[in-house]
């Protein structure tokens, strides 16, 4: 029995565990600095900045799709799928597609003009899935970011 539903504050401990599991899969286990307290505040505080769906079985939460609303200067409102995670023992069982479908339905419901996400270039199963559903895999754009330390050190001249 599998249920896909919107996530709640009570789901956060299991969600955080899945995030840590993903970090191990992506060969970056020490990179997760996000805490449960941060997630409580950021997802359910005064100004929530993310939402998520969960895939739940009798054993608990086995997958999540975490997203937020962003804005494109060219297109307008867009939905950004930050992470789609399925616990390792449940991968390739269709759960990822069900979570993706829930997020795509949400994008339609909010009248998003674009839905975006990223995939690591070595994650062949995910790339194959995204190609199969007809998504655009754009090699033209380069992802840029600044770490917390870089942000703090940055000085606008």
Question: Which residue of the set 25, 67, 71, 130 is catalytic?
Answer: 130
Whose CA is closest to 86, among 76, 102, 75, 100? Answer: 100
d(CA 99, CA 80): 14
Contact of 138 with 101, CB cutoff 8 Å: no
| Across 122-138, average pLDDT | 91
What SS3 class is residue 51? strand
Full DSSP string of 73-110: TTTEEEEEEEEEEE-GGGTTSSHHHHHHHHHHHHHHHT
Residue 12: pLDDT above 80?
A: yes
Q: How does pLDDT run across 98-116, given as a tens digit for each residue?
A: 999 999 999 999 999 999 9
Is 25 one of the catalytic residues? no
Residue 156: pLDDT above 80?
A: no
């Amino acid at each position: 029995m599998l249920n896909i539903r919107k996530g709640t504050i009570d789901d956060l401990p299991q969600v955080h565990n899945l995030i840590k599991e993903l970090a191990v899969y992506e060969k970056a286990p020490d990179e997760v600095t996000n805490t449960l307290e941060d997630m409580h505040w950021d997802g359910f505080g005064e100004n929530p900045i993310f939402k998520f769906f969960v895939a739940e079985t009798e054993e608990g939460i086995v997958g999540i799709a975490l997203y937020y609303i962003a804005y494109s200067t060219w297109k307008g409102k867009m939905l950004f799928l930050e992470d789609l995670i399925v616990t390792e023992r449940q991968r390739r069982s269709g759960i990822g597609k069900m979570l993706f479908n829930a997020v795509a339905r949400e994008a339609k419901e909010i009248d998003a003009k674009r839905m975006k996400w990223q995939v690591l270039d070595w994650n062949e199963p995910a790339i194959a899935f995204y190609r199969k559903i007809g998504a655009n895999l754009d090699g033209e754009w380069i992802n840029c970011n600044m770490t917390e330390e870089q942000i703090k050190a940055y000085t606008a001249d």
